[in-house]
Amino acid sequence: MDQFTKDLTKTLLSNGDIKELFRQQLETAINHILQAELTALLGYDPYDRSGFNTGNSRNGQYYRLIDSEYGKLKIAVPRDRKGHFHNHLLPAYFRRQDALETTIIQLYSKGVTTREIADLIEKMSGSYYSPTTVSKITAQVTKQIEAFHQRAIKANYICLFLDATYLPLRRDSVQREAVYIALGITSVGIKEVLDYRIAPSENAGVWSEMAEDLKQRGLKQVQLIIADGMVGLQPALLHAFPKAKFQR
């Protein structure tokens, strides 16, 4: 998650090829899902000692090229020694999988349940992922998100740019919620996404908690904070970084 955010920011700032970036991310996501599917079959993670002497194990992989909206995807399909593994994500001899892209987007950007994801894949491909298998797959995404929110932050940034945007998110129903984004600018002008949070609406309290969290993770000094004029926002931010200047 952290690396994708950096790559996306770098690509946008340099007018790079967004399509190629998405192709790479889609390829990576599919390969991760296939590995998670094999893990669900074997019952243990790679290199896990609990898998020793179980009678079956991983046995390398073979490669397939699949066309997608973003270009050709190089997919590494894993194998087990007993030949029991048959992936349900990529039908045999199929060379184009537009529906697969929709599945990945659903998995990464929607708050759907594991049961709904399993049903979605079954309808699309005629194959069935159990909720347990889907849980293992989504758990890998959750780990990446948690790592992003817990990673260490640099001590100094020239500027801290804060703003929120509203996006439709699915809970029990689809509603627009606020996505808080903190962008740090280094002394050489490099922009980095420091963190983000999601809440029903924008308020100074969430911004204050976010600023304090950045401090706890290593951010010590900010020279300038740029944010909008929401009531209560300026004192909340300056309480966390009292030496910083504030600019609307």
| Number of other residues whose CB lies within 10 A of the CB of residue 149 | 13
* Cα first-last separation, the chain: 30
pTM of the model: 0.48
Residues 6 or more apart whose Cβ sits within 8 Å of residue 216: none
Q: Is the distance from CB of 80 to CB of 66 less than 8 angstroms?
A: no
Q: CA-to-CA distance for 115 and 95, rounded, in angstroms?
A: 27
> Beta strand 191-199 with 174-185: parallel, antiparallel or unpaired?
antiparallel
Query: Is 98 strand, coil or helix?
Result: helix
Domain ranges of the chain: 2-148, 156-247
> Using one digit for the tens of pLDDT, what is the confidence trace for 183-216?
999 888 888 889 998 888 888 888 889 889 999 9
Instruction: Provide the pLDDT for residue 155.
Output: 84
Please give the single-letter amino acid code of residue 159.
C
Instruction: Provide the pLDDT for residue 1.
Output: 43
Beta pairing partners, 168: 176
> Using one digit for the tens of pLDDT, what is the confidence trace for 142-179?
777 888 888 888 888 999 999 888 887 766 676 788 88
CATH superfamily of 156-247: Ribonuclease H-like superfamily/Ribonuclease H (3.30.420.10)
Query: Quick one: CA dihedral 212, 216, 217, 222, positive or negative?
Result: positive
- Is the pLDDT at 96 greater than 50? The verdict is no
Instruction: Provide the pLDDT for residue 137.
Output: 64
> Mean pLDDT across the stretch 117-129?
57
Q: Is the distance from CB of 145 to CB of 1 less than 8 angstroms?
A: yes
Phi, psi (degrees; rounded to nearest 5) at 182: -110, 120
Beta pairing partners, 76: 63
> Using one digit for the tens of pLDDT, what is the confidence trace for 51-75?
666 778 888 888 888 777 778 888 8
H helix or E strand, kind and range, residue 36: helix 18-42
